Amino acid sequence: MTNIGVSITGSGSAIPKLSLDNQQLSQIVETSDEWISSRTGITKRQLADTTESLCSLATQASLAALDQANITPKDIDLIILATSTPDDLFGTASQVQWELGAEKAVAFDMTAACSGFVFGLVTAAQFIRSGVYQNVLLIGADILSRWVDWEDRRTCVLFGDGAGAVVLQASESDRLLGFELRSNGSQNDCLNLPFQPQEKKIIEGVTVSQGTYQPIIMNGKEVYRFAVQKVPEVIEKALFKANISVDKIDWLLLHQANQRILDAVASRLNIPSEKVISNLQNYGNTSAASIPLALDEAVRKNQVKSGDIIAASGFGAGLTWGAVIFEWNGI
Ligand code: ACO
């Protein structure tokens, strides 16, 4: 049997309607545009309004990606929705499948926080390489505004909402060149969105936990330290597996958490700033959406071109982190 390769042939994104700038945030918590932009690079973020859902954003991003890849929803075999903020805890991917009219596609959610898109890309590729599926739609989408503590200035200034999607297709030559994925649960408490249990006695001797999930809790300094140390390492490992040197990379596409993290990782890898894709200024940290959203903007601006080699890396809660090296094969 000949080897089956993977190509990434289309991207799309969806940006929610509401906009909240740093100045407006300073009316909610004790902060300033100066503090937020100098520490993070973020000047505004887009937030889902009450009419928008994870499903609607994910569907919109998917339609744009399918259009760019020049395939229809009926061609999709598999939909993976990377998210930590589903509309339904049982999963939102099936709703997206139905909205798209992707009749033959099987669909499921995948959770790996801000690493979700990179983990999803590698997962999607396995289904193609094994010959099981030919056309896979991968979506990264999150609405973290639902779970942020809007009274906590240490976290609420960082996040935004959005969705991005890519189409992966079987191809003769393999454009997914190398990857490395990692997890470390021992640092889980650095960044989490834990279930907050409340005891509920349902009958004598039977007490269960009921409750909800909020808010996001983060040790910013620890997460910063972790990202700056682990992300360059994991990119180097993925480059080694791809058998290419760092100077062959056209673009460094990191999870858009903080401009200082982007700068520090690029500097450790000796990648010049012109090769670093950054759009966090306008969106903040959109979790699983941030990489496909930044990719789609760069593709549509004609920055990223067919044949370009991209080193993408996601990192965040879990803790999880990973890198994937691929050649962009869309428009
Ligand atoms: N406005 C004004 N002051 C603030 C704000 C704010 N929004 N937030 C914190 N401060 C204050 C703190 O209270 C502290 O004051 P103190 O010295 O009087 O106690 C001071 O600013 C410094 O706070 P630090 O937390 O030390 O600030 P730091 O320079 O570390 O920057 C930041 C904080 C931006 C959060 C940084 O640590 C960071 O980017 N960490 C990485 C976070 C991240 O990327 N998380 C997402 C990972 S992805 C995922 O999976 C969700």
CA-nearest residue for atom 23, ligand 1, is 154
154 C-beta closer than 6 A to ligand 1: yes
Q: CA torsion 106→161→317→118, rounded to 10°?
A: 50
Walk me through the domains of the chain, giving residue ranges and CATH numbers.
5-173 (3.40.47.10), 178-186+217-327 (3.40.47.10)
Query: Residue type for 64, please?
Result: A
82 C-beta closer than 6 A to ligand 1: no
Q: What is the pLDDT of residue 98?
A: 98
* C-alpha of residue 149 to centroid of ligand 1, in Å: 14
Per-residue pLDDT tens digits for 150-187:
999 999 999 999 999 999 999 999 999 999 999 999 99
Point out which residues pair with 6 in neighbouring strands. 170
Q: How confident is the model at residue 331 (pLDDT cuts 50, 70, 90)?
A: confident
One-character DSSP codes across 50-99 = TT--HHHHHHHHHHHHHHHHT--GGG--EEEEE-SS-SSTT-SHHHHHHH
Q: How far is CA 327 from CA 181, 213, 224, in A?
A: 18, 38, 28
235 C-beta closer than 6 A to ligand 1: no
Q: How far is CA 297 from CA 73, 160, 219, in A?
A: 22, 16, 30
**Average confidence score pLDDT of the chain:** 97
Phi, psi of 314 (to 5 degrees): -110, 150
Measured at the CA of 279, the angle between CA 267 and CA 182, to 5 degrees, comes to: 60
Strands 206-213 and 195-203: antiparallel
Q: How confident is the model at residue 283 (pLDDT cuts 50, 70, 90)?
A: very high
The residues, any chain, with a CB within 8 Å of residue 220's CB and separated by 6 or more, are 154, 155
Cβ(319)–Cβ(287) under 8 Å?
Answer: no
Phi, psi of 84 (to 5 degrees): -115, 0
Q: For residues 7 and 14, what is the distance between their CA atoms, to the nearest angstrom?
A: 22
33 C-beta closer than 6 A to ligand 1: no
Residue 1 has pLDDT above 80, yes or no: no
Structure token digits, residue 178: 């190398």
Per-residue pLDDT tens digits for 52-84:
999 999 999 999 999 999 999 999 999 999 999
State what percent of residues in the chain have pLDDT above 70: 99
Atom of ligand 1 nearest to the CA of 255: 48
The residue annotated as part of the active site, out of 22, 55, 114, 156, is 114
Measured at the CA of 325, the angle between CA 178 and CA 180, to 5 degrees, comes to: 50
Q: What is the pLDDT of residue 22?
A: 98
Q: For residues 234 and 322, what is the distance between their CA atoms, to the nearest angstrom?
A: 6
Q: For residues 228 and 243, what is the distance between their CA atoms, to the nearest angstrom?
A: 23
The reply to whether 184 belongs to the active site is no
Q: What is the pLDDT of residue 3?
A: 79
For a mutational test of ligand 1's pocket, the pick from 221, 261, 286, i.e. the residue with the most ligand atoms closer than 8 A to its C-beta, is 221
Q: What is the pLDDT of residue 214?
A: 83
Q: For residues 218 and 201, what is the distance between their CA atoms, to the nearest angstrom?
A: 32
113 C-beta closer than 6 A to ligand 1: yes
Q: How far is CA 46 from CA 40, 67, 137, 138, in A?
A: 16, 24, 24, 22
Q: How confident is the model at residue 330 (pLDDT cuts 50, 70, 90)?
A: confident
Please give the model's pTM, rounded to 2 decimal places.
0.96
Per-residue pLDDT tens digits for 204-244:
999 999 999 989 999 999 999 999 999 999 999 999 999 99
Per-residue pLDDT tens digits for 259-275:
999 999 999 999 999 99
Q: What is the pLDDT of residue 2?
A: 63
Phi, psi of 191 (to 5 degrees): -160, 105
